[in-house]
Amino acid sequence: MTTRFQSAVPALALAAALGSALAMNIAPAQAGEKGAAQEKCYGVALAGKNDCAAGPGTTCAGTAKTDHQANAWKHVPAGTCTKTTSKTSPTGYGQLAAFEAKTAKSS
């Protein structure tokens, strides 16, 4: 019984080492994909889904009080912000800076 256990230990150690090496190779690629071609887009985040430091009334990620809050931003792929719909933006699309929200029109 000890012989089986002794031969299993090196195999488990090798599997753990390979798993760690593979995990280290994957993590930098994922981080680079998210940060490399992203921009802050104001007015497109949904309530509670904004990224960090959104302005007055928010402290960090997930603190936007309303959908499309004018001072709350979300990371989006570069070049897509001003093409993304925003119900509060004067242009109707996301903005690259915080803005004064337009007032809702009555029907």
**Predicted confidence band of residue 66 (pLDDT cuts 50, 70, 90):** very high
The domain limits of the chain are 1-36, 38-102
pLDDT at residue number 77: 97
48: left (phi > 0), else alpha (psi -120 to 50), else beta?
A: left
pLDDT at residue number 23: 46
Residue 53 has pLDDT above 70, yes or no: no
pTM score of the predicted model: 0.60
What gap in Å lies between CA 41 and CA 75, rounded to an integer? Answer: 6
Residue 85 has pLDDT above 70, yes or no: yes
Q: What is the pLDDT of residues 2-52, one digit of tens each?
A: 556 566 666 656 555 545 544 444 333 333 345 469 999 999 999 999 997
End-to-end C-alpha distance for the chain, whole angstroms: 80
Q: What is the mean pLDDT of the chain?
A: 75
Residue 1 has pLDDT above 80, yes or no: no
Q: Decide if 98 contacts 55 (C-beta within 8 A).
A: yes
